[in-house]
Structure 1
Amino acid sequence: MILYILKSSLLLFILITVYKLLLENEKMHHFNRIYLLGSLIFSLTIPLQLFSFKTKISDTITHFQLNEILLQKTSENLSTITDNQMMNYTAVTIYLLVALLLIIRFVLNLYSFYKKIKNNEQQTLNGNKVVLIQEPVVPHSFLNSIFFYEQDFKNNNIAPELIVHEAVHIKQKHTLDILFIEVLQILFWFNPLILLYKHAIKLNHEFLADETVNAKFNSVFYYQKMLLNIASNQRKIALASSINYLITKKRLIMMTKKESKTRIILKTVGVGVIFSLLLFSFSPETMAQESPNIISSEGKIITEISQPEFPGGMLAFYKFVGSNFKTPSGLKGNGKVYITFMIEKDGSLSEFEILRDMGFGTGEEAIRVLKLSPKWIPGKENKEPVRVKYSLPITIQAK
C-alpha cells in the first residue's frame, strides 16, 4: 500500500506540474479538462499494474518472507506486536475516522441540494430547471438545476450572461467532475495533491463557462466588470459550480488571451509523449527487469502470481500467533525463532521446518501454533492455485 501511495503521488505530482507549466495558461480548456481528469485516473490506476506491455514475464517469487513478530512474555502466555503493527493500526484508525467524517460532510452537502430543490419554487428557463431560493444567494448550479435568488429572478435583475454561464456548467456536466474529485478526496484525503487537482478542475470549469459567455455576447469588458461587482460575495457553496469561484487576475486575463494553434498542437503532442514515457516507466515489466530473474520450481513462465492470504488479513495472522503462543517453562532471556512452512494449493499448512530456535521447545511451540491455523486463501500462478513457501521470524523477549 505504501508503495502504491508513493507511485501514485509521484505521478500526480509530475502531471499537475506539467499542467501548471505547459497547459493552464493556454486557451485550450476542453483539452485541459480531459487532461486533468485523465491525469487523476492515470495516476491512480497505473500503479495498480492492472495491465502491462508484455504478455509473458520470467520474474516470479515462490518464497515469501513474513514480517518479524515480536513476542513479549506475560504471566500466562506471550502478547504479540509486530514491527510497526501498532503504528499501522493507529494509522488505519485515523484514516477511517477522517474518511468517515468526509463521507458525512459529502452526504450532508448532497442532502442540502435535495432540500433546496424540494422546498423551493421551480421554473424552466431556456430548457433548464431553475430553483428560486428565498434568501440572497450567488447564482450557482448543481447537476441539472440552476439556483437563483428568487427576488432578483422575478424582478429580472439577473444578467443574461449569468444565466448562460450557469447553463454551460449544466450542459457540459461539470458537476460530475466535482463529484468525482470529491470522492477521490474522501479516499485520498491525506494527499494534498488532490486539492491541487480540485482547484485546477473548478477553475477550468470557469474558463469554459467564461469562454462561452464571451463568444455569445462579445462584450468581454462588460462581463469582467460584472464579475468584479459580484466578487465581494465570497460565500462558497460546496459541490456547486458558482459564478464567483476564484475571480482572479488569471481568470480575467484568460478572457482576452489570444489562441495560438501552433503552440497548442505542440503542447498537445508533448503531453502525449509525457504520458507514454510515464506509462512505460511505471510498467511492471520495466521495473521487474531491475531484479534478478527467478524461474519457478516447475520451470514455467509466470505471467501472474498472487500471494496466499490469511483469513482476515496478515494483521489477523500475527494476532493469531501471538494469542496462541505459550511460553515454554524455563525459558529465559531474549532470542529468535525462525520457521518455514508451505501453503498448499487448498490453503492448508504443511512442511514445517525449524531453522533456528531458543531451545526449551520454542520451535515446536511455534509449529504447534501454526498447525492450529485455519486454511489460507491459496496463492495463484496464472490464476491457478500453487504451493507457496513462507518464512516466519519470531523474536521472543522472555525476561
Structure 2
Amino acid sequence: MEAIFIYIAKSSGLIILFYCAYYFLLGKETFFNSNRWFLLSGLVTSVVMPFFVYTKIIWIDPVTVPNLKYSQSFIPQTIPQESFEINWNYILISIYCIGFIALLIKFAADFYSLNSVLKGKKIQQQADFKFVDISENIAPFSYFDYIVYNSSMYTTAELENIIEHEKVHSDQNHTVDVLISRFFCVLFWFNPIIWLYKKAILQNLEFIADKEAAKKISNKKAYQYTLLKITTHENCVAITNHFYQSLIKKRIVMLNKNQSKKRNYWKYYAILPALVAFILLFQIKTIAQEKNETKKVSERNQSVDVYKIKNTTTDAELKEITKKLKEIHHVDIEISEVKRNSNNQLTAIKVDIEKGTGQDQTIQIEGNEPIKSCGIVIATENGSRKINLVTDGGIDKPMVIGNRIVEVSETSSPDKISTISTITLPVPPTPPAFPTGPMPQAPAADMSKMPKPPVPPANPKDKVAMSKFEKEMAEFERKMESFEPDMSAYEKQIEEIMSKREAIFEKEMEKYEIAMEKFNVAMEKFTEEIQEKYGKNSEEYEINMKQYEKDMKAYEKNMKLQEKEMKKLEKENKRS
C-alpha cells in the first residue's frame, strides 16, 4: 500500500515539474511542435522514472551482540488493550478508486457520444481523410482521419479555413495526444496540475493547427474572423480535436507572433538539472550490508548477579546471602521479622538494603501462606552498580534491567542465580541540527532616495508617449544601478555563509544516514533474536516492540521538528 502512494506522489511531482517548466519557460515561445513533444515526454517520464531506482550499498562493520551473563529484568507490566484505529490508507485508496472509476465511466460515455454522432452518417473519402457532413449544431472536429462539420452553418471560405485547420489535426495524429492527456486526467484526477497540463496540451495542438493552416490560406485575416465566429458554438465532442476552443484571443495572438529565436532552445534543457536532482533525492536507495570479515566479539564489562530467596531458604542460607553481598558487592543488608509455618516454610520476611547510602530499599512480606520467590538483583556495568529488589515470583520470569532482557537460570549454588543471555535494544542516532549563527546586517541604504519607476502610457500605440516612457525607463535604470553594488555584496555574503553551513550540515547528515543504516541492521537482529527466543506472539516481544515503536515515534517527532526549524531558518534567510 505504501509503495502505491509513493509511486503516485513521485509521478505527480514529475508532472508538476514538467508543467512548471512549460508554463514559465516555454509557454510564450512559438516552438509549437517542440512543445508538443516536450509535454508528451513529461507524461511518459512521470510514469516510467519512478520505477528506476539505483541501489547504493554501504558496507558497515558487523554489529556484534556481546556474549554476556545477563538479560532484562522483566518487572511485570500490563499491556494496554488495543483500541480501534482508522486505517487512513484504505480510506484514501477508496476515495481514489471512486474518482478513478467515475472518470473512467465518463471517458467511456464520451466514446459512446462520439459513436452516436458518426453512426449512420454519409462518409466522403478524399485522399487520406474521411469527411462527414452532419446536421447537428456541433463545432467542427477531427478524430483520427475523420473530419466532421456542418456545412450549412458556414460560408464556402469559412468552411475551407475550418477544413484546412482540421486536416492538420488529422494529418499529425493529434487525437493521440488528446486521448493520452485524457487518460492521465483519469489516472491522476486528484492532482489539479494534471488538468492544467491537459489544457496546455490541447491549447498547443491548436497553435500547431493554426500555424500550419495559415500557411495554406491566402487571406490570414479571414481565418482569424473564422476563429471568432466559431466561438459562438459551445457544443463539442470531448475526446476530439474540435475547432472551437476557449482562449481564442491567445490563439490569435500566437498566430500573429513573430517566430521565437533559436537561441531560446536552451529552455528545453533547463528541465535536466531538475530531473537529476529528482533522481539524487528520491531514486537512490541506500542499503547497508555487513562486511564478510569475521571479528572477535569482545565482552563488555557487565555482570548481573541475582540472589534468590525461596520459601524453603533456611536461616543459614539467609546469612550466607548477607555475607556474600558484603564480600563481593560491598552491599550491607539486614534480614529481619522472619516467620515460618509448621513446615518450616517462610511466611514473612523483611529485607533492608544499604540504609543511608542513597540506594535504600526495603521489601517486606507478611501473611500466613508460604511466600513466593523474591530476591536481590545487582547489575554492574563499567563500574556503575544498580540494585533492584524483585518480589511476587517475578524473579522466576524474564526481567527488565535497563534496556536488556535478562533471563535467569539456577547454578550449582542454591543461593545465587546468574543471568545467561542479554538482548540489548538498539538506540536510534540523534539527527544533526542545521548550523545557526549571526547573519550580516543588510546595507543601510537610504530607501527614500530610491527612484520611482515610470508609469507606462495607457495607449501603447501612442508613439510620442511610448518614446517618453522609454527615456524615463532608461533614466530609472541608470539611477537604480547605484543601489546594486551594496545589495550584490550583501547577497554574496549571505550565499557564502549559507553555503558553508550547508556543507557542514550535509557532512553531518551523511554520518547520520550511515548511523541510521547501522541502527536498522541492529534492529533487524534484535527483532530476530526476540522472535527466536520468546516467539513472535510472546508478551516479551510485544512489550519490547511497543517500546521500539514509542522510540521511533519520538525519533519521527524530532525529525519533524528539525524540518520545521529548517523551513523557519530558510524563511528568515529569504526575509533577510
Pairwise same-fold verdict (TM > 0.5): yes
1:146 counterpart SS class: strand
Deviation at 1:72, TM superposition (A): 8.6
> CA 1:51 to 1:149, structure 2 compared with 1: closer, same or farther past 3 Å?
same
Matches of 2:143 and 2:245, distance apart in 1: 14
Matches of 1:59 and 1:124, distance apart in 2: 66
Q: Which residue of 2 aligns with 1:15?
A: 18
Question: Is 2:35 aligned against 1:29?
Answer: no
Q: Which residue of 2 aligns with 1:137?
A: 138
Q: Which residue of 2 aligns with 1:283?
A: 279
Matches of 1:273 and 1:163, distance apart in 2: 37
Structure 2 residue runs of 5 or longer lacking an equivalent are 61-78, 294-404, 406-424, 426-527, 550-576
> What does residue range 233-244 of structure 1 map to in structure 2 within 5 Å?
233-244=233-244
Q: Which residue of 1 aligns with 2:483?
A: none
Matches of 1:296 and 1:218, distance apart in 2: 75
Deviation at 1:285, TM superposition (A): 8.1
Deviation at 1:130, TM superposition (A): 1.6
Q: Which residue of 1 aligns with 2:97?
A: 96
- Asked if 1 retains the 8 angstrom alpha-carbon contact of 2:123 and 2:131, the reply is yes
Point out the more displaced range, 246-255 or 193-202. 246-255
- Asked if 2 retains the 8 angstrom alpha-carbon contact of 1:122 and 1:129, the reply is yes
Point out the more displaced range, 232-241 or 159-168. 232-241
- Asked if 1 retains the 8 angstrom alpha-carbon contact of 2:534 and 2:540, the reply is no
Deviation at 1:212, TM superposition (A): 0.8
Point out the more displaced range, 240-249 or 169-178. 240-249
Matches of 1:132 and 1:355, distance apart in 2: 80
Matches of 1:279 and 1:355, distance apart in 2: 48
Question: Is 2:113 aligned against 1:121?
Answer: no
How many residues were matched structurally?
Answer: 300
Matches of 2:110 and 2:283, distance apart in 1: 43
Matches of 2:541 and 2:290, distance apart in 1: 31
1:237 counterpart SS class: coil
Q: Which residue of 1 aligns with 2:230?
A: 230
Q: After TM superposition, which residue ranges in structure 1, 4 or more long, deviate above 6 angstroms?
A: 354-357, 391-395
Deviation at 1:273, TM superposition (A): 4.2
> CA 1:227 to 1:144, structure 2 compared with 1: closer, same or farther past 3 Å?
same
> CA 1:90 to 1:158, structure 2 compared with 1: closer, same or farther past 3 Å?
same
Question: Is 2:6 aligned against 1:3?
Answer: yes
| Structure 2 residue identity aligned to 1:58 | I
Match of 2:271 among 271, 274, 278: 274
Deviation at 1:17, TM superposition (A): 1.6
Deviation at 1:91, TM superposition (A): 1.4
1:124 counterpart SS class: strand
Point out the more displaced range, 159-168 or 247-256. 247-256
Question: Is 2:41 aligned against 1:38?
Answer: yes
- Asked if 1 retains the 8 angstrom alpha-carbon contact of 2:11 and 2:47, the reply is yes
Matches of 2:21 and 2:9, distance apart in 1: 18
- The sequence identity of aligned pairs, in percent, is 29
Q: Which residue of 2 aligns with 1:363?
A: 539
> What does residue range 147-166 of structure 1 map to in structure 2 within 5 Å?
147-149=148-150, 151-152=152-153, 159-166=159-166
Q: TM-score w.r.t. structure 1 length?
A: 0.64
- Asked if 2 retains the 8 angstrom alpha-carbon contact of 1:59 and 1:288, the reply is no
Question: Is 2:181 aligned against 1:185?
Answer: no
After superposition, the CA RMSD in angstroms is: 3.9
Point out the more displaced range, 109-118 or 93-102. 109-118
Describe the superposition over 1:83-137 as per-residue Cα deviations: whole angstroms up to 9, x where unpaired.
652x221211111111111111111111222232232221124531122322222
> What does residue range 238-257 of structure 1 map to in structure 2 within 5 Å?
238-257=238-257
Matches of 2:162 and 2:169, distance apart in 1: 11
Deviation at 1:2, TM superposition (A): 3.5
Matches of 2:222 and 2:48, distance apart in 1: 44
Q: Which residue of 1 aligns with 2:391?
A: none
> What does residue range 22-101 of structure 1 map to in structure 2 within 5 Å?
22-48=25-51, 50=52, 52=54, 57-59=56-58, 85=87, 87-101=88-102
Question: Radius of gyration: which is bigger?
Answer: 2
Q: Which residue of 1 aligns with 2:288?
A: 294
Deviation at 1:356, TM superposition (A): 11
Describe the superposition over 1:301-325 as per-residue Cα deviations: whole angstroms up to 9, x where unpaired.
xxxxxxxxxxxxxxxxxxxxxxxxx
Describe the superposition over 1:6-39 as per-residue Cα deviations: whole angstroms up to 9, x where unpaired.
3333332232122112211111100000011111
Structure 1 residue runs of 5 or longer lacking an equivalent are 62-70, 300-337, 341-348, 367-390
Matches of 1:60 and 1:392, distance apart in 2: 30
> CA 1:149 to 1:294, structure 2 compared with 1: closer, same or farther past 3 Å?
same
> What does residue range 285-364 of structure 1 map to in structure 2 within 5 Å?
288=284, 294-296=288-290, 352-353=531-532, 363=539
> CA 1:249 to 1:157, structure 2 compared with 1: closer, same or farther past 3 Å?
closer
Matches of 1:355 and 1:157, distance apart in 2: 88
- Asked if 1 retains the 8 angstrom alpha-carbon contact of 2:158 and 2:226, the reply is no
Q: Which residue of 2 aligns with 1:326?
A: none
Question: Is 2:191 aligned against 1:194?
Answer: no
Describe the superposition over 1:175-211 as per-residue Cα deviations: whole angstroms up to 9, x where unpaired.
1111111111111110111101100000001000000
Matches of 1:120 and 1:10, distance apart in 2: 44
Deviation at 1:274, TM superposition (A): 2.5
Matches of 2:143 and 2:16, distance apart in 1: 29
| Structure 1 residue identity aligned to 2:531 | F
> CA 1:287 to 1:142, structure 2 compared with 1: closer, same or farther past 3 Å?
closer
| Structure 2 residue identity aligned to 1:30 | N
> CA 1:117 to 1:298, structure 2 compared with 1: closer, same or farther past 3 Å?
farther
